[in-house]
Amino acid sequence: MILFFGTRPGKRETKSLKNVACPFCGQRDTLTVVSQPNYAHLFWVPIFTIKTEQFAECSHCKKVYYKEDFTQEMQKAL
């Protein structure tokens, strides 16, 4: 019997952070948060979530912030 087991990324979700300033350039309403889960799958059917990647990007200065770099203001807006 052959089992196909592995991991696969899920669907990306994006959200704009309103009234939040970028810590680097200071521009407001330019941060977008992207969340993407990674699933364990069996025969290409997702079974459970392993982890969820989250990062924010400023559309003005193109600086990227990972989950551990989020400020209190960014976490509150999520």
Residue ranges of the chain with per-residue pLDDT less than 70: none
**49's tokens:** 């979530």
Are 23 and 32 in contact by the 8 Å Cβ rule? The answer is no
Number of domains in the chain: 1
For residue 37, the enclosing domain spans: 5-77
Residue 58 neighbours by CB under 8 Å, 6+ apart:
22, 24, 25, 27, 30, 31, 65
pLDDT of residue 2: 80
Distances in whole angstroms, Cα of residue 9 to Cα of each of 28, 37, 56, 64, 72: 30, 6, 18, 20, 28
pTM: 0.77
pLDDT of residue 58: 94
